[in-house]
């Protein structure tokens, strides 16, 4: 994977210009998704992702706030794609069985 440096010490862009946290395989949007989904603070992010240092977390957060619109669009695009795949896949056999047993609504 070819990475390009940015003005953010711990953020690099991969060959598709996706921001990655340096020294990890974690995308900035993956970290931000945890903030949005769980409301985690930087300290809680570090507790849940101990392999990502606090300085890298703050660098990723700064990058997000500076590129918020672009990254929010990317997250929405990823979400829509996942939803499309979910709809196309249909209900799983396990879910069907649980629904038949009235364990799912």
What are the tens digits of pLDDT across the range 26-83?
999 999 999 999 999 999 999 999 999 999 999 999 999 999 999 999 999 999 999 9
Separation of first and last alpha carbons in the chain: 44
Q: For residue 42, how many C-alpha atoms fall within 13 Å in the half-sphere facing its CB? A: 10
Tell me the C-alpha to C-alpha distance, in Å, between residue 38 and each of 24, 28, 44, 64: 21, 16, 10, 17
pTM of the model: 0.78
Q: How far apart are CA 1 and CA 25, in angstroms?
A: 10
């Amino acid at each position: 994977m070819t990475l390009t440096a940015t003005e953010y010490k711990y953020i690099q862009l991969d060959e598709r210009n996706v921001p990655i946290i340096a020294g990890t395989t974690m995308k900035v949007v993956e970290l931000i998704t945890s903030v949005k989904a769980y409301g985690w603070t930087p300290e809680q992010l570090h507790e849940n992702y101990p392999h990502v240092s606090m300085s890298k977390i703050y660098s990723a957060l700064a990058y997000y706030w500076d590129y918020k619109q672009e990254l929010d669009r990317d997250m929405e695009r990823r979400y829509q794609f996942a939803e499309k795949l979910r709809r196309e896949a249909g209900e799983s056999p396990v879910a069907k069985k649980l629904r038949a047993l009235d364990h799912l609504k």
